[in-house]
Amino acid sequence: MKFNQQKKNTILFYSIFSFSILLIFAYLLLVNFPVKLGRENIFVVTKGENLKAIAARLKKDGYIKSDFLFQLFIKINGKERVIKAGTYVFPPHLTIGEIAKIITGEEKAINNFVIQEGETLKEIESRLKAEKIISSEADIFSWRIKDFLNEENKKFFEGADVDNNLEGYFFPDSYNLPQGLKEEETIKIFLNNFFLKTGEIVDLAANQNENNFYEILTAASVIEKEVKIFEEKRMVADIFKRRLLTDMSLQADAAICYAQFKSFKDCNLSLESFKIDSPYNLYKNKGYPPTPINNPGLESIKAVLNPLSNNYWYYLTDRSTGKTIFSKTYEEHQSARQKYL
């Protein structure tokens, strides 16, 4: 009896041991088995998003086969609290372990690059080159809408001249870019994120019979540089709307900065600046500028689609406080200019 019991215990031990080895082997195999996506893909981790939600989206989007194994791998390696929010670029072949390294910042060949709301192509290109993400010979301005236009994304370019550059379409966000990307690949990352983040807004605009999204984006870019608070953006959007209806010029200083420098870094306007002959001079020309003047954030785009009705016709920014001063009449506006500028 004693011998039989020992034999049973031995068999049980080896069965459990063999099963454990099998489980470990299966775990390692699945964790290190790459999923073939066929192309580079963008994956966004939002601020405050938990591990379970991230794993579920990774599985839904086809990046992993098992959300359970992904969560298990992250927890076993103690990485749950170091997952970083941001926009990530996944190469065509990835394992669970490689994805974990990327979104926890462990992968060294990643550059965190932030596009700020209101930055221009010129400013963005300068920083991309300074951080050696793109070649010093790169020329982002040479790329045109028509270079990226297709049936899937054409709604985002409604109203645009396809020969225009991509000003307005580099979505302000935090990007985690792998080293060695080509210039075109880098641009596609910014564009694809724009399509991802503004898709609902574009559809909303279409439902409101606002079919010229390019004009909405252009208006948003002007507002982005004119005022900072969301409610004030909505107020200025309403002022612009009424000025256009009454054939009044928009008189936006920001557009003149863009006309002169294609940048807002150290833009100091003189009296002569307001006399320049340019379609971006919104004192001499009525309507919006011919293109966006920067890359606006979601708030500015939403403000254009949802203007806040008011009785003001003029506004300016107090140089000492940054506060926006609104006026109902030209006389009030002139008085405000003398007081605050």
- The residue extents of the domains of the chain are 28-103, 110-207, 216-340
- Comparing 10-24, 63-77, 119-133, 199-213, the range with the smallest average pLDDT is 10-24
Most confident of 49-63, 194-208, 224-238: 224-238
Vertex 157 angle, CA 152 and 160, to 5°: 150
To the nearest 10°, report the CA torsion of 170, 174, 180, 182: -10
User: For residue 176, what are the CA distances in angstroms to 39, 188, 212?
Assistant: 17, 14, 32
pTM of the model: 0.79
Report the distance separating Cα 170 and Cα 119, nearest Å: 9
Q: Average of pLDDT values for 253-267?
A: 93
Structure letter (DSSP) for residue 272: G
- Comparing 29-33, 65-69, 157-161, 335-339, the range with the smallest average pLDDT is 29-33
Work out whether the CA dihedral 130, 113, 227, 224 comes out positive or negative. Answer: positive
Mean pLDDT over the full length of the chain:
87
Q: Are strands 86-90 and 174-178 parallel, antiparallel or unpaired?
A: parallel
- pLDDT, residue 42, reads 79
User: Which of 175, 210, 174 shows the shortest CA–CA distance to 301?
Assistant: 210
Report the distance separating Cα 37 and Cα 43, nearest Å: 13
Structure letter (DSSP) for residue 140: G
Q: Average of pLDDT values for 159-178?
A: 94
More confident residue, 34 or 93: 93
Per CATH, which fold does 28-103 belong to? Answer: Dna Ligase; domain 1 (3.30.1490)
The torsion angles phi and psi of 284, rounded to 5 degrees, stand at -90, -25
Cβ atoms of residues 177 and 91 within 8 Å? no
